[in-house]
């Protein structure tokens, strides 16, 4: 007696139905990005700078932060951190706050600011400053918003009082809520005021634009001051660019070139921003050593090699199995075992000077994994 015929399962019926039904035309896979676009994605930048930036000097504070944070800059220049010091990731030590993006934003209201009116007795003018924050992404969390003001005036014997209020669009100076007041003992140095928590709530995204009305009044009878320059130093933390552990840079230099048949080790690869056409808006560095890994992981190269790290036990086991029975399994791969960060100082599309810190951009050591 023949065995009973089994009915096809539900999964088989669904598969047959899918084969019989008309299928939509296949969609073309998106073309892979070019070298410049791939580097943009790696750096977390939305697009390349549109045209040449408006020339302006780089503020000294941005140079100091860059030279303090960038490991490659520290190697060619004088050491700015003590020997053996490990910089905390996603932290700006010089400012004492968390963050991996620093922007120096100039006052956009200065070119359109009307001439100061004639000063009546006992009255001093007010100024409206405007900061464009549209380039700040919603994922970024501000940790420092430092307003910096430079005044030209004779010294007042009893100092000054700075008042900052919210200015509405088209409403002129003043008229909004008072954000903060602080005493200013002297105008010989820049006047600084922290706006985070005053201009917008903490733990909130930055506004698209910030308009402030400033008033500087002498505490006693004295001449009025003149606002010479206003800027905003904004520090934000983008968690997408943050890694929990810092990896200090090794001093060993990678090999130049080399045949693919050699042992697994770090090979030298220099990325030049001029070659990808970014030299007009990338301020520093001119390029960086990205490096790459190349070499064999067969025995005895898998056990040790110059410029590499000790392989994992699993990699050694795979190499031994491959030597004994080549068809049993593949060899381990030569991959990065230690990476380190870089910092890039550049002009964004709003002509702000921006310092961004990127983890895992430089291959320092390779190993068999």
E-only strand ranges, the chain:
91-92, 97-98, 101-106, 126-132, 141-152, 160-166, 178-184, 191-194, 209-218, 226-237, 265-267, 270-272, 282-284, 287-289, 292-294, 334-347, 353-368
DSSP structural state of residue 260: T
| 106 lies in the same domain as 233 | yes
Q: Are 300 and 366 in contact (CB under 8 A)?
A: no
Q: Are residues 296 and 324 both part of a single domain?
A: yes
What CATH code is carried by the domain that includes residue 340?
Answer: 2.10.90.10
Asked whether residue 306 is assigned to any structural domain, the reply reads: no
**Domain contains 143:** yes
Task: Say which DSSP state 171 is in.
Answer: S
What per-residue confidence (pLDDT) applies to 232? 97
The pLDDT of residue 30 is above 90: no
- Looking at the fold, whether 186 and 283 belong to one and the same domain comes out as no
Contacts of 305 (CB under 8 A, 6+ apart): 263, 264, 265, 295
Alpha helices in the chain (DSSP H): 10-20, 35-43, 60-69, 71-76, 313-324
**pTM of the predicted protein model:** 0.74
Residues 293 and 215 in one domain: no
Same structural domain for residues 362 and 260? yes
Q: What is the DSSP string of 177-229?
A: -EEEEEEE--SSS-EEEE-BTTTB-TTSPPPSEEEEEEEEEESSS-PPPEEEE
Mean model confidence pLDDT for the chain = 75
Q: How far is CA 47 from the centre of its chain?
A: 14
Residue 332 has pLDDT above 90, yes or no: no
Q: What is the total count of domains within the chain?
A: 2
DSSP 33: P
CA distance 159 to 152: 14
Task: Assess whether 106 and 213 both reside in one domain.
Answer: yes
Per-residue confidence (pLDDT) for residue 201, from 0 to 100: 87
* CATH value at residue 189: 2.60.120
Residue with tokens 């996603």: 90
In the numeric block, which tokens belong to residue 93?
A: 């030590």
Residue-range definition of the domain harbouring residue 145: 101-111+125-237
| CB atoms closer than 10 angstroms to residue 207 | 13
Give yes or no: residues 136 and 66 share one domain: no
pLDDT tens readout for residues 281-329: 899 999 989 899 988 876 655 555 544 455 555 555 665 665 555 665 6
In this structure, are 233 and 295 located in the same domain? no
What is residue 23's predicted lDDT score, i.e. its pLDDT?
A: 39
Tokens 């009307």, residue located: 114
What is the predicted pLDDT for the residue at 49?
Answer: 63
Domain limit, last residue, from 237, 269, 289: 237
């Amino acid at each position: 007696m023949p065995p009973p015929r089994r009915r096809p399962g539900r999964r088989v019926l669904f598969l047959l139905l899918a084969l019989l039904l008309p299928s939509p035309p296949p969609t073309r896979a998106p073309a892979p990005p070019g070298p410049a676009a791939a580097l943009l994605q790696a750096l977390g930048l939305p697009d390349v700078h549109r045209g040449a930036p408006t020339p302006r000097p780089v503020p000294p504070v941005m140079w100091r932060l860059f030279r303090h944070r960038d490991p490659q800059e520290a190697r060619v220049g004088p050491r700015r951190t003590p020997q053996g010091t490990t910089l905390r990731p996603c932290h700006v030590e010089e400012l004492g706050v968390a963050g991996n993006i620093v922007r120096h934003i100039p006052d956009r209201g200065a070119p359109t600011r009307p001439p100061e009116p004639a000063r009546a007795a006992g009255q001093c003018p007010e100024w409206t400053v405007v900061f464009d924050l549209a380039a700040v992404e919603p994922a970024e969390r501000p940790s420092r918003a430092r307003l910096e003001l430079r005044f030209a005036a004779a010294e007042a014997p009893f100092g000054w009082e700075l008042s900052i209020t919210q200015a509405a669009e088209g409403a002129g100076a003043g008229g909004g809520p008072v954000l903060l007041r602080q005493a200013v003992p002297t105008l010989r140095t820049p006047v600084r005021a922290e706006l985070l928590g005053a201009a917008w709530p903490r733990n909130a995204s930055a506004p698209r634009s910030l308009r402030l009305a400033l008033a500087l009044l002498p505490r006693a009878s004295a001449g009025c001051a003149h606002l010479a320059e206003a800027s905003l130093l904004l520090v934000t933390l983008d968690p997408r660019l943050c890694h929990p552990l810092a990896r200090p840079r090794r001093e060993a230099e990678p090999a130049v070139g080399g045949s693919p048949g050699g042992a697994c080790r770090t090979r030298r690869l220099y990325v030049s921003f001029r070659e990808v056409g970014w030299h007009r808006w990338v301020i520093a560095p001119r390029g960086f050593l990205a490096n790459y890994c190349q070499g064999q992981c067969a025995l005895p190269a898998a056990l040790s090699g110059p410029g590499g790290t000790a392989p994992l036990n699993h990699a050694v086991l795979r190499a031994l199995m491959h030597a004994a029975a080549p068809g049993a399994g593949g060899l381990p791969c030569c991959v990065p075992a230690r990476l380190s960060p870089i910092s890039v100082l550049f002009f964004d599309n709003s002509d702000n000077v921006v310092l961004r810190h990127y983890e895992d951009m430089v291959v320092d050591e390779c190993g068999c994994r």
